[in-house]
């Protein structure tokens, strides 16, 4: 510190160039207080400014966190996931039926029967109650009756769970008398197509020797 009774502003330097300009560490004099002139190094001034900025940012972040904690974001109401039943309900019209030899090792193993035996007239309606629970079903048309034409139905699982979807067919509303089953090989989704597979096997064996895959599209009026 340098005492100066006049409190004038002067610039001091530890090094002075010949040209008269200051170089090196330069001290800047600030107005005196009680007759004392205080000299501050530029680095000190910058450090003070940085501390002020950091302090301001810290206070801002603290206030933001406090304000956010006072309000809970609105995520909307909870919506139940769509079940397979909702995707399958309604009336469906047959667009193809393919017979496949499940044990053939060569030659023709599949044959479309759509243009034969009046399969083009086949339709199926899958009914559900107001809660989208499966109730009854009915098959109409003049096609050969490869599986039961009327009864009640459900699935082994309402949601995709990694297992093949199986459509169980029952003769009674209580669904205690099972009379058949179909594998759902395609559940309507991005493509509005329903596919049901009927497999035939020898009594006492679970290995099918013949199958029919029915492909349906939504019925249009």
Predicted local distance difference test score (pLDDT) of residue 96: 98
Distance CA 101, CA 111 (A): 9
CB 219 within 8 A of CB 92: yes
Given pLDDT bands bounded at 50, 70 and 90, which one contains residue 18?
very low
Given pLDDT bands bounded at 50, 70 and 90, which one contains residue 156?
very high
Predicted local distance difference test score (pLDDT) of residue 62: 60
**CB burial readout 171-196, b (16+ within 10 A) else e:** eeeebeeeeeebebeebbeeeebbbb
Q: What is the mean pLDDT of residues 32-47?
A: 48
Name the strand (E) or helix (H) holding 169: strand 165-170
Predicted local distance difference test score (pLDDT) of residue 8: 45
> Considering only 36-45, 122-131, 188-197, 202-211, which range has the smallest mean pLDDT?
36-45
Nearest 5°: phi and psi at 119? -65, -25
Given pLDDT bands bounded at 50, 70 and 90, which one contains residue 9?
very low
Q: Which CA distances in Å does 218 have to 87, 89, 104, 159? A: 11, 10, 33, 21
Q: What is the mean pLDDT of residues 181-195?
A: 94
Given pLDDT bands bounded at 50, 70 and 90, which one contains residue 48?
low
CB 39 within 8 A of CB 28: yes
7 pLDDT more than 70 = no
Distance CA 66, CA 61 (A): 9
Q: Which CA distances in Å does 211 have to 102, 108, 146, 148? A: 7, 14, 11, 16
Task: Report residue 70 as tokens.
Answer: 């006072």
> Each residue of 145-155: pLDDT tens digit?
999 999 999 99
Predicted local distance difference test score (pLDDT) of residue 171: 97
Predicted local distance difference test score (pLDDT) of residue 215: 98
- Output the average pLDDT for the chain: 78
Given pLDDT bands bounded at 50, 70 and 90, which one contains residue 49?
low
22 pLDDT more than 70 = no
Q: Which of 108, 139, 113, 115 is nearest to 126 (CA)?
A: 139
What is the chain's alpha carbon radius of gyration, rounded to the nearest angstrom? 42
11 pLDDT more than 60 = no
């Amino acid at each position: 510190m340098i005492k100066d009774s006049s409190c004038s502003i002067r610039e001091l330097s530890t090094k002075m160039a010949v040209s008269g300009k200051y170089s090196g560490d330069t001290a800047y004099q600030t107005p005196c207080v009680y007759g004392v002139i205080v000299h501050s190094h530029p680095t000190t001034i910058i450090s003070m400014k940085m501390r002020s900025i950091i302090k301001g940012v810290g206070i801002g972040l603290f206030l933001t966190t406090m304000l956010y904690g006072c309000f809970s974001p609105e995520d909307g109401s909870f919506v139940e996931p769509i079940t397979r039943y909702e995707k399958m309900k309604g009336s469906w019209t047959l667009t193809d039926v393919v017979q496949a030899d499940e044990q053939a090792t060569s030659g023709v193993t599949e044959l479309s029967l759509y243009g034969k035996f009046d399969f083009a007239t086949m339709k199926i309606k899958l009914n559900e109650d107001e809660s989208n629970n499966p109730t009854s079903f009915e098959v109409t048309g003049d096609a050969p009756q490869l599986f039961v034409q009327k009864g009640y139905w459900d699935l082994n699982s309402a949601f995709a769970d990694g297992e093949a979807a199986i459509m169980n067919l029952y003769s009674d509303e209580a669904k205690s008398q099972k009379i058949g089953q179909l594998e759902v090989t395609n559940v309507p989704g991005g493509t509005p197509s329903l596919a049901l597979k009927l497999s035939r096997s020898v009594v006492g064996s679970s290995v099918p020797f013949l199958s029919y895959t029915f492909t349906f599209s939504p019925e249009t009026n």
